[in-house]
Amino acid sequence: MDRTSGEKGLAAGVPPSDGEASTDLVSYSRELEDVSLRAIVDDTARSRIQWAAPDGLEIAGRGTAVRFTATGADRFTALRTQADTTFDSLTHNGPRVARPRAFGGFAFHDTHDPTPPWSGFEAASFVVPRLSVTRSPDGDTWLTAVDTDPDAATDRLAEWAHTLAETPPMQPVGSRPGVASTRRPTSPAAWADGVTAALDRIDGGDLTKVVLAQSLSVRLAEPIEVPDTLERLRREYPNCYRFLLNQEGSGTFFGAPPEQLVSKRGDRVDTEALAGSVPRGETPEADDEHAERMLDDDKLRHEHDLVVDAIRTQLAPFADDLTVADRTIRRLATIQHLHTPIAATIDADSHVLELVEALHPTPAVGGVPPDIAWQTIRRTEPFDRGWYAAPIGWFDGDGDGEFAVGLRSGVATDETVTLFAGNGIVADSDPAEEWDEVQLKFRPVLDQLKR
């Protein structure tokens, strides 16, 4: 429901007290003319977030009003408990579209230990920004300030409204940083061995599918400006999500995922299966030929159907009704996927984090059955996935929210960007073909780094 001035509403995992009379959060919002979201995320010394969804919602934030973290197998429940405490005591003075939200994500594994390049990224971590700009799908723009001190919040609101009004709404995009060198922890031979071992488990009957990934360490010729890279990704992949997440003492995780994990608005839930892929063609005719080959390929259809069936099963306990749409083709700049939208009606009091916990990891990034797939991934991959292929997004005090899958992504630290990409292994997978497809999935971010 809308939170209007004077109403209790959204958020509060508990912020540090610092001697204030109250640790309850209060937020204020004011409408702006069109402004540059880039100005909010330019300062790399501060915690910053950026989120953009295909429906047009864009949010940029800086600073930390409150942070929620959790580890271990109960991290989803623990995080929600912290957030409920905060949001239940937060007073929001402004329209619902500008309400405070918690932004962040989860590590792929609940046993994640944050080591480089993932230093500072806990097994679960979300922040409510002290300051955020929200651009709604309707084109309205709102500035929101959050604090335990109402005067501090209103002062910050006025200061940044003036700063943004003085900043040109269109910001130039800098040049690409350039690639000095690359390093692969996984050699083609090691990849072939890992895929062959997975196929042996599949042939043995205890594994149906597993997604194996690679990392690529890219040393840059010059330091990266991640917001510039994100803007270039927007131009190349306008129908994908975009995100940027960093906290003080951490690198910057960013990407342009094509895949929605889940969206909850009241009693409406949307998700999708995105699995099975082929390259784009150099001509419209070649493009259509690739697409037809994908639709006719038994292996790719089987891989896709495993994801659809798993999502249907995982959502069933929550859903009053569930609709699986017809399979279509999702075309992106360098790759095309089999795509099936899925929608459900659920109890509006359910929390989006319950759905995230139920769905992660889908077979599109993990495998079937999940436990055996996870074991195979940990045994095979010579690196920590960190937040790669994990839920990235936001939630609010009503339990609504939206999450993407952290694909087509990288983590930037100093002058290095570590990229991640993977592919589904099923019966009849060919190690060489799977290697080639993984390299294709590195391209969205890698192309934006090269000069």
Closest CA to 330 of 278, 262, 283: 278
List Cα–Cα distances, 350 to 262, 267, 319, 339, 356, in angstroms: 13, 8, 10, 26, 11
Closest CA to 417 of 106, 97, 180: 180
Sort strands 268-279 and 260-265 into parallel, antiparallel or unpaired.
antiparallel
Residue of 209, 264, 272, 441 marked active site: 209
From the number of C-beta atoms within 10 Å of its C-beta (0-12, 13-18, 19+), residue 413 rates as middle
List Cα–Cα distances, 83 to 8, 20, 74, 103, 339, in angstroms: 15, 20, 14, 11, 33
List Cα–Cα distances, 42 to 46, 49, 253, in angstroms: 9, 10, 15
Does 282 participate in catalysis according to the annotation? no
Residue of 122, 259, 303, 434 marked active site: 259
* Separation between Cα atoms, residue 446 and residue 101, nearest integer Å: 31
CB 7: neighbour CB atoms within 10 A? 12
Does 8 participate in catalysis according to the annotation? no
CB 25, CB 100: distance < 8 Å? yes
Residue 212: beta bridge partners?
A: 423
CB 124: neighbour CB atoms within 10 A? 26
* Separation between Cα atoms, residue 213 and residue 385, nearest integer Å: 8
Token pair, residue 108, equals: 């792929």
* Separation between Cα atoms, residue 267 and residue 399, nearest integer Å: 10
CB 201: neighbour CB atoms within 10 A? 17
Long-range CB pairs of 161-165, under 8 A, 24+ apart, other chains included: 161/30, 161/32, 163/39, 164/32, 164/35, 164/36, 164/39, 164/133, 165/32, 165/33, 165/35
| Torsion angles phi and psi, residue 99, rounded to 5 | -60, 155
The catalytic residue positions are 209, 259
